[in-house]
Amino acid sequence: MVHNRCLSKSISDAAWSRFAQYLSYKAESADRALVRVNPAYTTQTCSKCGHREAKKLSDRVHHCSCCGFVCDRDHNASLNILALGTQRLGFALEAPSNL
C-alpha cells in the first residue's frame, strides 16, 4: 500500500507515529526518558568542532574542513543527536552550538 501515491504519505506517517508510541511506552516501563531531538543539520554539522558544511546526499563520509575530523556521515549525525539529547536532559555532553 505504500507504493500507492494517494495513501503512501498517510501510511508512512501513521507507522512513524505508532513507532514513537511504542518507544515512549517501552521507555516509561523501563524507567527511562525518551527525548525527541530535531535531526535537522545533524549530518552537516561536525560533531567535534560544530562547523556546518553543506553536503550532497551521495557524500557518505563526513570530512570537516575546519578541524579535519573524518568519520561516516551517519555516525557523525548520531554523535550530534546524542549530544543534543543529553544536553536537553541537562547532562554535561555538549552539542555544537549552531545546531
Residue 85 reports pLDDT greater than 80: yes
Domain hosting residue 47, numbered range: 35-99
Whether residues 25 and 42 share a domain: the answer is no
- Mean pLDDT for the stretch of residues 47-54: 95
- Does residue 45 sit in helix, strand or coil? strand
- Asked if 66 and 95 sit in the same domain, the reply is yes
**Does residue 27 share a domain with residue 7?**
yes
60 shares a domain with 28: no
pLDDT given at position 90: 87
Both 14 and 39 in one domain: the answer is no
**Cα 70 versus chain centre, distance:** 18
Q: What is the pLDDT of residues 10-47, one digit of tens each?
A: 767 777 888 889 999 999 999 998 999 999 999 999 99
Do both 86 and 97 map to the same domain?
yes
Residues 51 and 15 in one domain: no
Which of the two residues, 5 and 68, has the higher pLDDT score?
A: 68
**82 and 44 part of one domain:** yes
Same domain? For 53 and 87 the reply is yes
Rounded mean pLDDT of 54-77? 95
Q: Answer yes or no: do 39 and 17 share one domain.
A: no
Tell me: do 44 and 82 sit in the same domain: yes
Average pLDDT, the chain: 86
Q: Which pLDDT does position 14 carry in this prediction?
A: 73
The predicted model scores a pTM of: 0.74
Q: Decide: 84 and 37 in contact? Cβ < 8 Å.
A: yes
Higher pLDDT residue, 3 or 29?
A: 29
